[in-house]
Amino acid sequence: MEILIAIGILGGLGLIFGLVLAAASKVFYVETDPRLDQLNECLPGANCGGCGYAGCGGYAEAVLKGEAPIGKCASGGNECAQAMAAIMGVKAEAVTRKVALVRCSGAKSYDKEGNLLKGARVKANYEGFHDCLSASKVGGSGPLSCKFGCLGYGSCTKACKYGAIKVVDGVARVDEDLCVGCMACAAVCPRQLIIPVEPDRNVVIACNSMAKGAATTRACTVGCIGCGLCKKICPKDAITIENNLARIDYSKCDNCGLCATVCPKKLIKDSNVENLGDPKVEPINGPAI
């Protein structure tokens, strides 16, 4: 009998609390804009942070409030932007797909004796945390002779939610088919090597060294020395030399590839050319400089 009474009391309390909660939900109900759910449905749900917000939900809410422009979702691309614009009753500009470019060509290759044939020279062995930021804090700006190059400890690969970046021969490389251009990788690169570019560009200058030519040559066999030959031959005036580094203005570049043919370091890559060849560099013996 006592068990039945206890069960009855608990059941009664449950019923009372349920009624109280139901009444509270009615009293304190806040009507939400149905467009918020529709906006969230347009977004990929990757929560990559490329839009500048903590997640897709935060970006959708910001768009609804008019605090963020449509088209900031790199993962969703143009299709997502147009769908969100239709929901908000506005016209959105076409979103051009971008992919990440790692501005470093210092991938290392060695001969059978272990001599460096190509790439950035190593001046010290780093045995700390397997993280680019940690490695960059080591005395002398990290273990590489080039203080501008890719450290190769994979911070960007950990940040990429799409598996689009891998470290190959000591340098991060992007798989453009997998990259959505969210640039989460760029946010964690301590040397600010990664920039967004259009995936259909053929000519790239994958270097970030702003050191003078002689210093760059001592640090890396394929670094840009700012010689200006590419600038002189460019028929569209699309290349400038800034801080000892050649840069391409893609709004002017027509992908002719002439710059790639004159680069003494064979640094400038042209995907229209099957094989540009490697720079003729003698094996490097002795301690790194």
SS (H, E, C) 136-160: HCCCCCCCECCCCCCCCCCHHHHHC
To the nearest whole percent, how much of the chain has pLDDT over 70? 92
Model pLDDT, residue 49: 83
Distance in angstroms (rounded) separating the CA atoms of residues 100 and 120: 21
The mean pLDDT of 65-81, rounded to a whole number, is 90
The mean pLDDT of 37-59, rounded to a whole number, is 89
- Answer with the residue of higher pLDDT: 278 or 56: 56
Model pLDDT, residue 278: 41
The mean pLDDT of 209-215, rounded to a whole number, is 93
The mean pLDDT of 85-110, rounded to a whole number, is 89
Distance in angstroms (rounded) separating the CA atoms of residues 234 and 18: 76
CA atoms within 13 A on the CB side of 135: 25
Model pLDDT, residue 157: 95
pLDDT of 275 higher than 50: no
Model pLDDT, residue 280: 39
The mean pLDDT of 9-29, rounded to a whole number, is 79
Q: Contact at 8 Å (CB) between 201 and 253?
A: yes
- Answer with the residue of higher pLDDT: 243 or 274: 243
pTM of the model: 0.74
| Among candidate residues 212, 217, 253, 262, the one with its CA nearest the CA of residue 235 | 253
Q: How does the average pLDDT of the chain come out, rounded? A: 85
Q: What is the band of 283 on the pLDDT scale with cuts at 50, 70, 90?
A: very low
Q: What is the band of 112 on the pLDDT scale with cuts at 50, 70, 90?
A: confident
Distance in angstroms (rounded) separating the CA atoms of residues 240 and 234: 10
Beta bridge partners of 218: none
Q: What is the band of 245 on the pLDDT scale with cuts at 50, 70, 90?
A: very high
Model pLDDT, residue 272: 66
Return the exposure string of 112-133: e unless at least 16 CB atoms fall within 10 Å of the residue's CB, then b.
Answer: eeeebebbbbbbeebeeeebbe
- Answer with the residue of higher pLDDT: 7 or 164: 164
The mean pLDDT of 229-244, rounded to a whole number, is 95
Phi and psi at residue 224, to the nearest 5°: -70, 130
Angle, helix 56-64 to helix 34-42, in steps of 10 degrees: 130
pLDDT of 15 higher than 60: yes
Q: Which residue has the tokens 């759910």?
A: 37
pLDDT of 215 higher than 70: yes
